[in-house]
Chain A
Amino acid sequence: MNWRIHWRRRVEGPLLTPRSFDLTVLTMLMVLAVHAPHLPVWLSLGLGSVLALRWWQRRRAPGKTPAWLKLPLIALLTLAIVTTYGTVFGRAPGASLAVGLLVLKLLETETARDARVGIAFACFALMAALLFDQGLAATFGVALGLLPVLAALRSLEPAQAPTTLPRQLLPGLTLLAVSLPLTLFAFAVVPRLSTPLWGAPQDDQARTGLSNEMSPGDMTQLLVDDSPAMRVSFDTAPPPRNDLYFRAFVMWNYDGRSWRASTPYAKPEPVDATDRVSYAVTLLPNGQRVLPALGVPLAAPDGAVLRAGRVLARGKPVDDLLRYRLTSALHYRFGATLGPERAPALELPAGLNPRTLALGRQWRERFHGDPTAIAGAALALFHDGGFSYTLTPAPLGRDAMDDFLFSTREGFCEHYASAFTVLMRAAGVPARVVTGYQGGFWNRLGNYLLIRQSDAHAWSEVWMTGRGWVRVDPTAAVRPERVSLGAAATGGGERPWYQDAWLQGLRNRWDIVNRWWDKGVIGFDALRQRGLLTPFGVERTDNQTLAWLLAAGSMLFGGAGLAWAMARRNRIDPALAAFRRLERKLARAGVTRRRGEGPQHYLRRAARALPGQREALRVLMEQYLQLRYAGDEPADESLRDFRRKVRDFRTARVVQ
């Protein structure tokens, strides 16, 4: 036997072993990695190099980093964060500061105690990363960060069998896997807060997505962003692709450069729907206060109101995954009469785009103010006037529309919608810009429509007497496949070579997993909690019931775990087990077996003590000795017989 014994005197703060230190460094590295997406690049790099230097330094000679180096570093960190964000409060600066301090804490980590404190706070920092992104991939990344955490904590225990670094990470994985059932149970029944205890964080970070402002060229970033914006599942068959216009913002105000979604009045226009479609939308957080809706929504869901232009406005920005149900009209007539909004629908900034205004006036005279004809002329201009569709158009000058219409003649939906609306207004036709999404990808596997940020679109609505607001998509005049095939088809030369069909398929599958995650985990709110628990007979899901449920369930899991922990997995010989049973019966009758007493001796003693059972005990003894000692493979049948006899054995209580 040559088990190596490691011992260490229990002095205050034994030094960390190199392995423990490596694992602690790895933990901090993971924290840094999960925070890197939202930390400033210089901070990530700086902290990374501090980690590397500290690791290298301790490998050479253990020892704390001197205070004269540590304190300036802390001051520098704080200063840099204040300079970058203007404050140390708030989510992003707070996270930067926490991660920075955690890494700097490692400079003085020399003992197990220091390491434990650091690792505990690393757990907190890992969780904090989820406040920025709670997507599937991010969450898994963070969960992966728990492996070095667990391995580092394990390595702090003294006297272990030596093992390799990867092998040291493995038990953590097993521990997490074993803990998963309890985790999921606790996750399902932990009572959710109805109102936050303190202010929910402000989304102080610009999110990609539509905004309530649009100026030609703004959407370029958006149109190449393949991240999902929303998912829509229809109650019936999905509508044809040409009808897949999701309105988000209606924009009236034009200042010559940007369109703004200001609402001149609050009343939504009445609508006559000819056909309806019902659907459910899962909207990913975008920080906006509107809910995109297909066609024209007929009613607002809970927590939202219908505004002018039949836009669904919401009081709070969408900072978390949001699910809502809607019924929309695909074919409709709305806003049959035009009231005081006629004026803002015709307003144009004075002194800008003179050539465009002149062209509008010219068309008004030529077509005698017929809106259909004027719109037709504009579309014909786009179609035949040498216009092209590109995501990288030439920049526009002060008279943006003049430049676009008469010189550059290239652009994408924003340019066309903007130019078309300005032309219409110049020709005396009330018009407005609508932004939202168009098209999307029909995921056959999941039976839902996936709309990506790149499906963002802008179009126009013109008001015609008797028909109300009519949707006109000028981009379709230039690039009809933008509407019929979707955004992906229009990219043309801009699409990178690697985005082939196979990769696209993979991405769509990945999106299904994400959808499941969004629905099952991120969207698991009090309502869904009730939905999950009702089938199990839990009618009321108030906090008290849930707390009871949590306690009871934890006990149940704990009991199962305890049973596992206490199981002594040694299989006992069945004959011996039966004999033990006999022993217990005899012990109740007052004949207790002594330690080290042979079975023959014991049963003979029992037979003397219990004369009434003498014969039965003699038979049992002979059978048992035969079973246990006469050979190694006793016949099943004699074993069964013995067990039956033991079961039937009764000790008639003798008068003592």
Chain B
Amino acid sequence: MSATPLRDDPLMQRLEAALAQVNQVLLGKPRQVKLAFTCLLAGGHLLLEDVPGVGKTTLAHALAATFSLDFQRVQFTSDLLPSDIIGVSVYERETSQFRFHPGPIFAGLLLADEINRATPKTQSALLEAMAEGQVTVDGQTHALPQPFYVVATQNPLDLHGTFALPDSQLDRFMLRISLGYPDAGAERALLSGADRRDLLARLVPQLDAAGLIALRDRAQAITASTALLDYLQGLLTASRRHAEIRVGLSPRAGLSLLAAAKAWALLSGRGHVLPEDLQALFVPLAGHRLVPSRGSSGEALARELLAEVAVD
């Protein structure tokens, strides 16, 4: 089977070690950790929707440390300006020139905390930068570092005085997941174990930027057969035909799903994508992209689609 050579690969071994390390810090959430890795390997960005205190920051920190990514955190507020994230050009008297002071966005991993607290203008500045991989200030274009990974968080309960991300922008995030409360065992381990901050401090980098880029290339090379593409297309078509969905999945969403499924297959140690890979990713990927025509939630609709579309 094709899984074996992948396992022997040193790069793959390091990836497994990285996965194990993050799982050690974030207890009882192997699925969410794998999804966060998938997002990273597929070159997407992650949206975490959770109540405070469930380990969003821990996850971001652990990822940054494990992949030796430069970590930045920005707390989004209603008065945050686009330039506060992207950076400003400042006039320097000595050189009589404007010099660009890069903002926190110039990081390997940017944790955008409570992104829905910022004004739409600021949100879209970030989202545009995410989509294009570069920022333009005063006519000058500055490329963002590669790899560049945004983990944004949203508090779903406290909606007072927030600006919900517009539907069109939500699709910039490859996956939307929620960590949720830990189960009893994990919670006990959490309570009795060492302090998270100590653990984070002790994390060692398992992969560097070059290794990550190599893994991304490898993920892109994973096979997706005709039969699988048929199934993927079936899902997309069904999402556009479903009566309760006002806006179905876009072609870009389809591409994202494929890229994510390839990364997921790589993380599962497989050289090809299986329908189950698509199914594992479909809810986090489609949940925030599907616009229901009423009542129902995107996640519920995505689950309904999975149950309806037959796998051939």
Task: Give residues in A with beta carbon < 8 Å to B.
Answer: 573, 576, 594-601, 622, 625-626, 628-632
Contact = CB atoms under 8 A, between A and B. Distances in A.
A428 B126 CA distance: 135
Contacts of B276: 598, 600-601
Contacts of B307: 594-596
B227 A630 contact: no
Contacts of B225: 628-632
Contacts of A622: 1
Contacts of A628: 225, 227-228
B280 to A, nearest CB: 9
A573 B274 CA distance: 17
B228 A629 contact: yes
Pick from A626, A629, A631, A632 the residue with the most CB of B within 10 Å. A629
A597 B272 contact: no
B279 interface: yes
Contacts of A601: 276, 279
A476 to B, nearest CB: 87
Contact of A595 (B227, B279, B308): B308
Given A573-B227, A622-B1, A630 B271 contact: yes
B272 A596 contact: no
Given A598-B274, A598-B275, A601-B276, A629 B310 contact: no
Interface in B211-237: 223, 225-228
B20 interface: no
Given A600-B275, A628-B228, 11 more contacts: A595-B310, A596-B306, A598-B274, A599-B275, A629-B223, A629-B272, A629-B274, A630-B2, A630-B225, A630-B272, A631-B223
B286 to A, nearest CB: 14
Nearest to B1: A622
9 contacts: A573-B227, A596-B306, A596-B311, A598-B311, A599-B274, A622-B1, A629-B227, A630-B223, A631-B223
B227 A576 contact: yes
A599 B311 contact: yes
Nearest to A596: B307
B94 interface: no
B195 interface: no
A596 B227 CA distance: 14
B253 interface: no
- Enumerate the 4 nearest inter-chain pairs by beta-carbon distance, A residue then B residue, closest first: A598-B275, A598-B276, A630-B272, A596-B307
Contacts of A598: 274-276, 279, 311
B144 interface: no
B79 interface: no
Contacts of B306: 596
B309 interface: yes
B35 interface: no
A326 B1 CA distance: 87
A632 B226 contact: yes
A596 B223 contact: no
Given A595-B308, A595-B310, A629-B225, A600 B272 contact: no
Nearest to B265: A629
A11 to B, nearest CB: 32
Given A628-B225, A628-B227, A632-B225, A596 B309 contact: yes
B273 interface: yes
Contacts of A597: 311
Interface string B268-304: 0001111110010000000000000000000000000
A626 B223 CA distance: 11
B312 interface: yes
Nearest to B228: A629
Contacts of A599: 274-275, 311
Contacts of B223: 629-631
Interface string B109-125: 00000000000000000
Contacts of B228: 628-629
B311 A631 contact: no
A490 B118 CA distance: 115
Contacts of B279: 598, 601
Contacts of B275: 598-600, 629
Interface in B132-173: none
A143 B115 CA distance: 78
Contact of A596 (B1, B226, B308): B308
A626 B225 CA distance: 10
A194 B79 CA distance: 105
Pick from A594, A595, A622 the residue with the most CB of B within 10 Å. A595
A575 to B, nearest CB: 8
Contacts of B2: 630
A368 to B, nearest CB: 112
A629 B272 CA distance: 6
Nearest to B231: A598
A573 B228 CA distance: 13
Contact of A629 (B1, B273, B308, B309): B273
Given A576-B312, A597-B311, A598-B311, A631 B1 contact: no
A586 to B, nearest CB: 15
Contacts of A625: 272, 274
B274 A600 contact: yes
Nearest to B271: A630
A532 B276 CA distance: 64
Contacts of B226: 632
A622 B309 CA distance: 23
A25 B228 CA distance: 56
Contacts of B272: 625, 629-631
A643 to B, nearest CB: 16
A630 B274 CA distance: 9
Nearest to A595: B310
Contacts of B227: 573, 576, 628-629
A36 B113 CA distance: 93
A395 B276 CA distance: 105
A576 B274 CA distance: 14
Nearest to A572: B312
A596 B308 CA distance: 6
Given A622-B1, A628-B225, A628-B227, A596 B310 contact: yes
B211 to A, nearest CB: 26
Contacts of A600: 274-276
A632 to B, nearest CB: 5
Contacts of A594: 307
Interface string B32-51: 00000000000000000000
Nearest to A576: B312
Pick from B228, B271, B275 the residue with the most CB of A within 10 Å. B275
Interface in B22-67: none
A598 to B, nearest CB: 4
Nearest to B277: A598
A584 to B, nearest CB: 15
B232 to A, nearest CB: 12
A312 B226 CA distance: 82
Interface in B246-283: 271-276, 279
A5 to B, nearest CB: 19
A630 B228 CA distance: 10
A584 B208 CA distance: 50
Nearest to A597: B311
A634 B284 CA distance: 32
Nearest to B226: A632
A600 B223 CA distance: 17
B305 to A, nearest CB: 8
